[in-house]
């Protein structure tokens, strides 16, 4: 008899990022900023001092201390991961199991449900209203209780809507579900306000996720953090692989947090680019009937609804511009000034 894949793997659909060679990549919410030459030299020097014959520090002690100092939390609250993706998968598989239920909202980051499926966890989907895309905190709490979920996970600001729920709304979810784990992914909070990172010590059912891939422009090193009450942090450290963050990433991460002014400057530049993109697309919507709506953004991208999003997506691709197709919307990352100029001119041509 031939070997049979486990049922949870038989229908697992892998995440499919847009492939191809595009001169302008505005599809993955990456930073358009690369480290300046002087920082690259420091990174090169830090990497040459890595003892390659030794395993990494299993708990990333120095790295977590520097992260904690930058964000104003305690090192005992922090667990480092091989990108936020590893931490999401670790949290789902460790705090829930086969037969358990997990609540996600829709639309939101698709990988939450992916990791639940891989762990054999059932996904309960809380739908946001299509008219507003806004999160109703009280309705989500009632939904989670009605469906008897073990954990709730959502992004704030939301990917892909670019909208941010208020700090008060998010805390109502945490406080309304004291016997369930609540995971708030703040990957885009550097571009907004309302973080709840400062209150993790008050709640033993809360984990906040952070990443270096968006505001800090370090997607290549795959570095994320889970911040929580020490009880949860200890559990995550026990559950994670022993050497999950490699030595080169730890060295570069430490160097990054030793340059706080640079990190804040990066964030400001991205916000300026996002704001310009939003303003220009709002103007374009007044000129072109094919652009129906531009959502005011709290992230590093703009979420825009088109009459024919498939055509816009394909025509932009033919012009070397990669966008994220999420019908009836397109998600468009903030780019450099030149990239934004090229995008806007392309959209004018496509929508004519």
User: pLDDT tens for residues 160-212?
Assistant: 999 999 999 999 999 999 999 999 999 999 999 999 999 999 999 999 999 99
What pLDDT digit, counting tens, does each position of 105-148 carry? Answer: 999 999 999 999 989 999 999 999 999 999 999 999 999 999 99
Residues 6 or more apart from 221 whose CB is under 8 A from it?
212, 248, 249, 252, 253
Q: How far apart are CA 322 and CA 318, in angstroms?
A: 9
In the predicted model, what is the mean pLDDT of residues 222-236? 98
Structure confidence at residue 137 (pLDDT): 98
What the block records as the tokens of 12 is 């697992």
What pLDDT digit, counting tens, does each position of 68-103 carry? Answer: 999 999 999 999 999 999 999 999 999 998 889 999
Locate all alpha helices (DSSP H) within the chain, ordered by sequence.
Answer: 7-10, 37-48, 61-71, 83-95, 111-118, 137-146, 167-176, 230-239, 247-257, 260-287, 309-318, 337-351
Ordered domains of the chain (ranges, CATH): 18-34+262-351 (3.90.1150.10), 37-259 (3.40.640.10)
What the block records as the tokens of 273 is 């680019």
Beta bridge partners of 184: 154, 208
Judge whether residue 314 has pLDDT over 80: yes
């Amino acid at each position: 008899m031939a070997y049979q894949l486990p049922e949870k793997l038989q229908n697992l659909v892998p995440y499919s990022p847009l492939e191809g060679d595009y001169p302008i990549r505005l599809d993955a919410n990456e930073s358009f900023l690369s480290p300046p030459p002087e920082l690259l030299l420091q990174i090169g020097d830090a990497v040459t001092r890595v003892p390659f014959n030794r395993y990494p520090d299993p708990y990333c002690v120095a790295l977590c201390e520097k992260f904690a100092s930058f964000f104003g939390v305690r090192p005992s609250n922090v667990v480092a991961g091989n990108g936020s993706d590893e931490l999401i998968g670790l949290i789902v598989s460790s705090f829930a199991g086969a037969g358990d239920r997990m609540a996600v909202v829709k639309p939101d980051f698709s990988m939450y449900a992916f990791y639940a499926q891989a762990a054999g966890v059932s996904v309960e989907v809380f739908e946001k209203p299509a008219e507003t895309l806004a999160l109703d905190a009280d309705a989500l709490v009632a939904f989670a209780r009605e469906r008897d979920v073990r954990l709730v996970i959502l992004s704030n600001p939301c990917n892909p809507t670019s909208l941010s729920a208020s700090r008060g709304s998010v805390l109502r979810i945490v406080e309304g579900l004291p016997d369930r784990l609540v995971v708030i992914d703040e990957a885009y909070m550097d571009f907004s306000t309302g973080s709840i990172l400062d209150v993790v010590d008050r709640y033993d059912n809360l984990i906040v996720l952070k990443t270096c891939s968006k505001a800090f422009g370090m997607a290549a090193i795959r570095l994320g953090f889970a911040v929580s009450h020490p009880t949860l942090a200890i559990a995550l450290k026990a559950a994670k692989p022993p050497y999950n963050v490699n030595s080169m990433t730890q060295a570069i991460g430490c160097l990054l947090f030793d340059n706080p002014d640079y990190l804040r400057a990066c964030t400001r530049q991205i916000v300026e680019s996002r704001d310009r993109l939003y303003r220009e697309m709002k103007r374009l919507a007044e000129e072109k009937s094919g652009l129906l709506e531009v959502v005011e953004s709290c992230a590093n991208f703009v979420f825009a609804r088109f009459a024919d999003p498939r055509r816009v997506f394909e025509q932009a691709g033919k012009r070397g511009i990669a966008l994220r197709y999420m019908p009836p919307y397109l998600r468009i990352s903030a780019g450099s000034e030149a990239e934004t100029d090229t995008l806007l001119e392309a959209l004018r041509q496509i929508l004519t």
